[in-house]
Amino acid sequence: MKLFILLSAIGLTALFGADAGTATSGSDFAEFSSVVTDADATAKNAVGKFATWFIGLLPLIGLSVGIFGGMKYLRKHSNGQDENFAKELGYGGVGAVLGLIVAMLFISAIGSGLMGSSKEAFDVLNAFWRAIFEAEAGASVK
């Protein structure tokens, strides 16, 4: 019964109340529109920042994982014996190159998957590091 009364009240308000307002200006909706625009911009900004940092740091992540992966592989196959430094450097270096290649492939995939062209993702990477180095150069000049 309570639900019926509530629904009837909402229905009657919608039927008669909604159109009974005397407001004639469209500016009443400016606030609503600005809330929508602001929420959209905030969401896009948060996602954009995260995605930019992710793409920007992906080569470093690939490099680190590659180096540690190469070293781990060497240690696993050395049966507990100490390997010489040149061999560790070689395995670490190969791991780094492989990690970097995988990171570049990931960036290409992100670019073509999200923006339709892998070049766009490399533009984001370029802009990310350029902003960091330019900010750094600006700070050191000051």
Q: Which residues contact 66 (CB under 8 A, 6 or more apart)?
A: 95, 96, 97, 98, 99, 100, 102
| CB of 89 or CB of 130, closer to other proteins | 130
Site for other proteins in 99-118 (CB under 8 A): 113-116
* Residue 24 in contact with other proteins, rule: CB under 8 A: yes
Which pair of structure tokens corresponds to residue 42? 């905030």
Q: Which residues contact 108 (CB under 8 A, 6 or more apart)?
A: 118, 121, 122
Q: Which helix (H) or strand (E) covers residue 16, if one does?
A: none
| CB of 6 or CB of 38, closer to other proteins | 38
Instruction: Name the segment binding other proteins (CB under 8 A); options: 6-14, 25-33, 88-96, 131-139.
Output: 25-33
Which residues make up the interface to other proteins (CB under 8 A)?
21, 23-30, 32-33, 36-37, 39-40, 43-45, 47-48, 51-52, 55, 113-116, 120-121, 123-124, 127
